[in-house]
Amino acid sequence: MKTRISILGATGYGGGELLRRLLFHPAVTISHATSRQHADTPVAKVHRNLHGWTDLPFSNPSTDELLQSSDIIFGALPHGASATTLAPFIAAGKTVIDLSGDFRLRCADAYHTWYRQPHPHPNLLSRATYGLPELNANALAQADLIASPGCFATAINLALLPAAQRGLLQDTPQVVAMTGSSGSGASPSAGTHHPERAQTLRPYKVLAHQHTPEILQCAQDAGSPLAGLAFTPVSAPLVRGILAVVTATLTRPLDDSELVGTYRQAYTPFPHVLVLNDREPEVGPIAGTCSVELRPRLHNPTTLHVLCAIDNLVKGGAGQAVQAMNLRLGLPLQTGLQQPAPWP
């Protein structure tokens, strides 16, 4: 029998990407794709790429209906609203995978500081497992509340993780990361509407992005507590993708062979993470996929430089949530996610 899935808040880009993956996943069936505004509207009227692929309508079921018809609940809801909506399903013992930031941080005070609102259910934070498979694969196989990582955090964490796991990081890494317009969601604003960004590169939330504490928490969990993170996000004139440029101070000198070997060994169990040595990472070759392109190198023996490219909606969003689900179900990590990117 297939696992029954419901997606709460399925009209946004994250929800659409979940639908694109889960409609054709061999081990699951979708019970509900929820939307109050679009209830009874065919999913394909909102996510037009799914026209001809599904007759599923959006629905607005009660909590009791969802509990009865779902084994796993995906939350694709805004920060703050997500924790409140998901709390009854967590209490009922359902497996919950949240794509918002509501369960990523273990400290309620840090959430208040970075998300500028009190956490609605701080008692639940300790129950969450951070959904980065490359860090927590074993824990995710047993987790009932999974906090899917943020898109910037995914790229930056993957750039630093092998070094962090060896206790090689210190001080305050410097990061500049460029992102596509889809990362800002389906509702345009003056700062995120694509025509407003198509002819420019615009830094925003400089040294103040909410993914900062998530990245520091991950580095600490991996074995390298950091003093801070100097992170500059940049709004870029593309729809999908993140390219992160990361520079970090090492605790001891390395040579090129040891550095590359460290990264290759760390990602051997994760063949979707490509450690390059013959070209630079790009967004195009991984757009629409869960693949990651990385290139670590040394600026000098104690300065690490890493480039990392991901698709913000797939590895940085819905695809990574599907990876976590696969681990929870005892399936191969990439089930339902294996395809090349379109090119060009």
So which residues are the catalytic ones? 151
- C-alpha 318/C-alpha 76 separation (Å) is 9
Q: Which two tokens stand for residue 266?
A: 């760390």
The closest alpha carbon to 144, from 73, 64, 66, 65, belongs to 73
Task: Please name every residue paired with 296 in a beta bridge, in sequence order, or none if there are none.
Answer: 306
> Which residue is listed with tokens 């500081």?
113
CA dist 128 → 99, 120, 136, 168, 308 (Å): 12, 15, 12, 27, 26
Query: 3-state DSSP call for residue 183?
Result: helix
**Beta-strand runs (E) in the chain:** 3-8, 28-34, 58-59, 72-75, 95-98, 129-130, 145-147, 169-179, 202-203, 230-235, 242-250, 273-275, 292-300, 303-310
- C-alpha 164/C-alpha 168 separation (Å) is 6
Q: What is the largest CA-CA distance in the chain?
A: 61
Query: Are 173 and 229 in contact, with CB atoms under 8 Å apart?
Result: yes
CA dist 324 → 220, 300, 337 (Å): 21, 36, 12
